[in-house]
């Protein structure tokens, strides 16, 4: 296909595709799917070889959030039967992190539900970061605590945080249909504050909320403009008890097209396959490794993932390798721009520092129901959303919608942080 040849050439040059080209990727047929994956895979290998970075989520505080993000199992009005607990102590969080590090994770993502941290919360998280780094030499730590106030990003950086996650989630045009207690602009400002403090920015999206192709392209182009080092792609986990519980809009094929589009638009960025992969990609997960270069190991914030050893077996069976602790993640030009590295060896022609993301799925991981690392939002009393989620007026939900809802694959986390049971790593 001329389209794919053009996109590969642009990706190898770090040249931005047009919006029309990005939309065309989402519009390709299932017959063309393997060609799309192969093309995006060339771009992925150019910048990241066959390495897969492992990340591990620690949910420092679960539930009890005052925001009304419709996708989130931790929202105030949520009836999802998730674990609810207040802040883990630094030593408890450090023990939870150790399980992920033992499983091969290079980055630990510390997530706490809520609108944003108080100064006391920042002090608490700072002590947790110090405890984790004291026990795990060379480990990267990403914080995901919600909207930041002035000076808080600098304090986290001083405490040893390497990265900060805050996802845009969906397009600016449709953001108000998902969340009303804060704005899209609030999220952008937090990402920019993290960058200004010298933290590696992690910001991504949630797919499957009923958005149109245009919405997906809009949010990915907005992310490209923000220029985070890491872009987590979450697929909505429709938790029962949340407003989007009936939004089963994704097929494995559509998920792969979305990931390919993200890779073409963000060729040299750490694209992370985040929450919801087990629910929506299912047996097609190994194909996604040709598009992304980063995944979460084991469980998410409020939902269970597949067994950590199964993740490791999948990576090996697909012909990929786990990225080692001494290997830099990002291409050298990005690592140098970030001001150093999270590692010293170059594993490919373009290795560099790493960046950092939930998914009930979101960014470092996900909060409740849908996406990357940090507080994904919403806790309000709005329990009803129009059918089709955030699709704009006059726009239809993509034809990939399926009635084959796999509610059997949505499992609430009952082990690890906040419990007496061993974590999954």
Assign domain 2-409 to a CATH class: alpha beta
Report whether 109 contacts 356 (CB < 8 A): yes
Active-site annotation holds for 342: no
Determine whether 202 is an active site residue: yes
Catalytic residue among 50, 51, 69, 75: 69
Query: 72 an active-site residue?
Result: yes
| Active-site option among 75, 142, 255, 376 | 142
Note down pLDDT in tens along the chain; length 425 residues: 799 999 999 999 999 999 999 999 999 999 999 999 999 999 999 999 999 999 999 999 887 787 888 777 766 666 767 777 889 999 999 999 999 999 999 999 999 988 999 999 999 999 999 999 999 989 999 999 999 999 999 999 999 999 999 999 999 999 999 889 999 999 999 999 999 999 999 999 999 999 999 999 999 999 999 999 999 999 998 888 888 888 999 999 999 999 999 999 999 999 999 999 999 999 999 999 999 999 999 887 777 788 899 999 999 999 999 999 889 999 999 998 887 544 434 444 443 333 333 333 333 333 343 334 444 433 333 333 333 444 443 344 444 444 568 887 787 786 778 787 787 78
Going by C-alpha positions, the residue among 67, 65, 413, 354 that lies closest to residue 231 is 354
Which one is catalytic: 44, 107, 109, 413? Answer: 109
Based on the residue annotation, tell me whether 142 is a catalytic residue of this protein.
yes
Cβ atoms 331, 351 nearer than 8 A = yes
pLDDT per position as a tens digit, 319-367: 999 999 889 999 999 998 887 544 434 444 443 333 333 333 333 333 3
Catalytic residue among 202, 255, 353, 364, which? Answer: 202
**What is the distance between the alpha carbons of residues 45 and 29, in angstroms, rounded to a whole number?**
24
- In the annotation, is 144 catalytic? no
Q: How far apart are CA 348 and CA 100, in angstroms?
A: 25
Q: Rounded distance, CA 139 to CA 312, Å?
A: 19
Catalytic residue list contains 353: no
- Which residue ranges make up each domain of the chain? 2-409
H or E stretch at 51: strand 51-61
From 65, 144, 266, 342, active-site residue:
65
Query: For the whole model, what pTM was predicted?
Result: 0.86
At 27-69, the pLDDT tens digits run: 999 999 999 999 999 999 999 999 999 999 999 988 778 788 8
């Amino acid at each position: 296909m001329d389209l794919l040849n053009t996109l590969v050439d642009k990706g190898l040059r770090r040249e931005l595709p047009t919006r029309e080209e990005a939309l065309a990727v989402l519009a390709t047929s299932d017959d063309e799917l393997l060609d799309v994956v192969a093309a995006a895979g060339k771009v992925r290998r150019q910048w990241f070889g066959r390495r897969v970075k492992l990340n591990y989520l620690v949910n420092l505080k679960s539930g009890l959030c005052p925001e009304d993000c419709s996708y989130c199992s931790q929202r105030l009005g949520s009836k999802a039967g998730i674990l609810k607990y207040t802040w883990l102590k630094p030593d408890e969080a450090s023990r939870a992190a150790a399980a992920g590090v033992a499983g091969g994770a290079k980055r630990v993502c510390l997530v706490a539900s809520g609108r944003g941290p108080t100064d006391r919360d920042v002090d608490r998280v700072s002590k947790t970061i110090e405890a984790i780094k004291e026990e795990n030499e060379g480990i990267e730590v990403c914080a995901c605590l919600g909207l930041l106030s002035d000076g808080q990003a600098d304090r986290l950086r001083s405490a040893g945080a390497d990265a900060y996650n805050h996802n845009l989630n969906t397009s600016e045009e449709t953001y108000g249909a998902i969340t009303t207690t804060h704005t899209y602009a609030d999220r952008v400002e937090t990402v920019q504050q993290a960058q200004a403090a010298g933290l590696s920015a992690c910001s991504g999206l949630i797919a499957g909320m009923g958005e149109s192709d245009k919405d997906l392209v809009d949010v990915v182009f907005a992310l490209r403009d923000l220029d985070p080092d890491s872009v987590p792609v979450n697929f909505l986990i429709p938790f029962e008890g949340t407003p989007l519980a009936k939004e089963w809009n994704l097929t494995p094929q559509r998920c792969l097209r979305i990931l390919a589009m993200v890779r073409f638009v963000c060729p040299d960025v750490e694209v992370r396959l985040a929450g919801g992969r087990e629910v929506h990609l299912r047996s097609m997960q190994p194909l996604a490794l040709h598009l992304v270069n980063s995944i979460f190991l084991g469980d998410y914030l409020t939902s269970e993932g597949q067994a950590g050893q199964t993740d490791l077996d999948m990576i090996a069976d697909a012909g990929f390798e786990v990225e080692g602790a001494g290997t830099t993640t990002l291409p050298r030009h990005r690592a140098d721009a970030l001001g150093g590295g999270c590692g010293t060896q170059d594993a490919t022609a373009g290795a560099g520092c790493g960046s950092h993301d939930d998914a009930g799925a979101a960014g470092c991981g996900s909060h409740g129901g849908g996406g990357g690392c940090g507080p994904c939002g919403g806790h309000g009393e709005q329990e009803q959303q129009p059918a089709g989620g955030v699709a704009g007026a006059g726009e239809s939900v993509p034809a990939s919608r399926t009635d084959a809802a796999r509610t059997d694959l949505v499992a609430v986390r009952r082990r690890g942080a906040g419990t007496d049971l061993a974590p999954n790593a």
